[in-house]
Amino acid sequence: MSGAPADFLALLREQVRRQPDAPALGMIGEQPLTYAELENRIATVAKRLHDKGFRPGDSMLFSIRPCVDAVTLVFGTIAAGGAIVFVDPGVGPELFTRRIDLVRPAWAATESLLYLLSGPLNRVGRTVGLSLPAFADLPVRHIHSGLRLPGTPPGSIPLGQLLGSGTSADITVADPAAEALIVFTSGTSAAPKAVAHTRGSLGAGLAAMAGRSSLGPGGHLHTEQLMMGLPALMAGARWSMPRYPRFGTHIDPIGFARTLDAATHAFFTPADLAVVLGAIESGRLAVPRGLREISLGGAPVTTALLRRARAALPECEFLAIYGMTEILPVAITSGVAKLEFEGAGDPLGAPVHGVTARIADDGELILSGPNLCRGYLGEASLTEIATGDLARFDGDTLVLMGRKKDMMIRGKTNIYPGLYEPAVCTVSGVRQAIMVGLPDEIGDERIVLAVVADPDAGDIAARLRRELPALIDVSALPDEIVVVDEIPVSGRTSKPDRAALRTRLAQSLP
């Protein structure tokens, strides 16, 4: 990618100029804002924030579930020269406090319900599994979303005061170097890690997505995921969001799928798509009408899942997106290409335009490019990032071979499960397959293959014992094969939780 990366707000303004009256952003079932109306609201939020004392460089802690007002506040805060800090309030008070100490936000935008459940009704919050920090005690300027409930700080600004249409502030001056988005990723309570993206790195990532999907003017993407909704807006499409349950923090995948009839495009994590496919296969859910393309990301997309998806949704195309919080996207490939791939490992596609991928001597994938984040707060700027993934090139195609940290050791053999799991998933009747190691008293590991099987798969363990010797290295054959109802998942994108699986297996196996 030549030249400096574009400010992502400048990219949005280009779509406003092209199609000011086209639908842009809305909740499902409601009249969406047009591109011109969205731009005006962003400008209004930016100006009203400045009027209330917000200054360029300020950061805003953000704890509002995705909705039109929330997205508008995100854009308006960035347009005002600030940075949005996404932090999960449910991580527990100790880790939350560590994260706040690292970021030191000047502002916080919070749902009123969180003030109530972390203040007057904190005992109720604990009974439903919420160990919340005391939001009202944060030494920041507060903005609250929703009705002012007990526990809301007296000086908190109602979000409604910042919204609506008004006199436009000038957001045409781009500042690609300004921090825009701060997202916490892996790290311990003692050393949390916060990824800092600039307006330029976000713009570069959005530009890299251009043309990789069929999304464009007239298209309609349905998702609550900001990093998928942004590319839709930059492509000139409509972005709609589902409604969260009143007290819920997650979208039910089957309920989400029932709202897809008006959409042409959708995003799923593999785990959520598997739930939806099960409902379609059992007849509990009708196939969404008009859906043309589903993007998948956040966890490995297996060939077994793609085969099921194509059978249940034959009119739909599928895209597999590979990336990480620090650099997104990295590679995008079609479901057809993944299914036609015959080599070892998981094909990710060619790196997107601007991303440079190299393979280190130990096989680890190293990435750089204009969409790479500035770095981690409190640490030196990044010029490249070691992914922790093992990979190789097959021509121009980047092929994932496993995770360094998932490596298992049996005898003198290092076993990388990501190298073999895609092959296991090609066996008829296997829906999902995860290999984990259970260590013994001398540091060796017993390799256990946990599989989720199709309902009519029969004795899938016996079939795997017969077929696996012809599919994977003999040195990596599992010591045991266990059929499970589900693979535990974790995180925002529902990745397979190998640690939780190991714990379950250790408790259930002799």
DSSP 202-214: HHHHHHHHTTSSS
Beta bridge partners of 359: 365
Q: Which residue has the higher pLDDT, 456 or 211?
A: 456
Angstrom distances, CA of residue 347 to CA of 91, 102, 398, 409: 34, 37, 6, 25
Q: What are phi and psi of 491, to 5 degrees?
A: 80, 175
Mean pLDDT of 285-295: 95
In this prediction, residue 348 carries a pLDDT of 96
- Which has the closest alpha carbon to 412: 504, 455, 475, 324? 475
In this prediction, residue 190 carries a pLDDT of 54
Q: Percentage of residues in the chain with pLDDT exceeding 90?
A: 68
Query: How far is it, in rounded angstroms, from Cα 278 to Cα 114?
Result: 34
Beta bridge partners of 220: 238
Q: What are phi and psi of 112, to 5 degrees?
A: -55, -30
Mean pLDDT of the chain: 90
Q: Which CATH class is domain 202-369+379-403?
A: alpha beta
Confidence bin at 182 (pLDDT 50/70/90): very high
In this prediction, residue 246 carries a pLDDT of 76
Whether residue 139 is preceded by a cis peptide bond, meaning omega within 30 degrees of 0, is no
271-300 as b/e, with b when 16 or more CB fall inside 10 Å? bbbbbbbbbbeeeebeebeebbbbbbbbbb
In this prediction, residue 1 carries a pLDDT of 39
Whether residue 329 is preceded by a cis peptide bond, meaning omega within 30 degrees of 0, is yes
SS3 470: helix
Q: In whole angstroms, what separates CA 99 from the centre of its chain?
A: 20
Domains 202-369+379-403 and 408-508 share a fold: no
Confidence bin at 217 (pLDDT 50/70/90): very high
In this prediction, residue 471 carries a pLDDT of 87
In this prediction, residue 167 carries a pLDDT of 60
Task: Write down the domain spans for the chain.
Answer: 8-197, 202-369+379-403, 408-508
**Token couple for 493:** 């994108």
The structure tokens 């047009």 sit at 34
Mean pLDDT of 339-367: 94
In this prediction, residue 117 carries a pLDDT of 85
| Range 8-197 has CATH code 3.40.50.2300 | no
**Token couple for 234:** 């930059």
Confidence bin at 189 (pLDDT 50/70/90): very low
Taking only Cα atoms into account, the Rg of the chain, rounded to an integer number of angstroms, comes to 23
In this prediction, residue 425 carries a pLDDT of 92
Query: How far is it, in rounded angstroms, from Cα 351 to Cα 358?
Result: 10
Q: Are 65 and 159 in contact (CB under 8 A)?
A: no
Q: Are 15 and 35 in contact (CB under 8 A)?
A: yes
Q: Are 230 and 371 in contact (CB under 8 A)?
A: no
Q: Percentage of residues in the chain with pLDDT exceeding 70?
A: 93
C-alpha triplet 218, 300, 214: angle, nearest 5°: 15
pLDDT in tens, 381-408: 999 999 989 999 999 999 999 888 788 8
Q: Are 18 and 45 in contact (CB under 8 A)?
A: no
In this prediction, residue 128 carries a pLDDT of 60
pLDDT at 169 over 70: no
Residue 88: burial class (beta carbons within 10 Å; 0-12, 13-18, 19+): middle
Q: Which residue has the higher pLDDT, 409 or 101?
A: 101
pLDDT in tens, 225-270: 999 999 999 999 999 999 988 767 788 999 999 999 899 999 999 9
Q: Which fold, 408-508?
A: GMP Synthetase; Chain A, domain 3 (3.30.300)
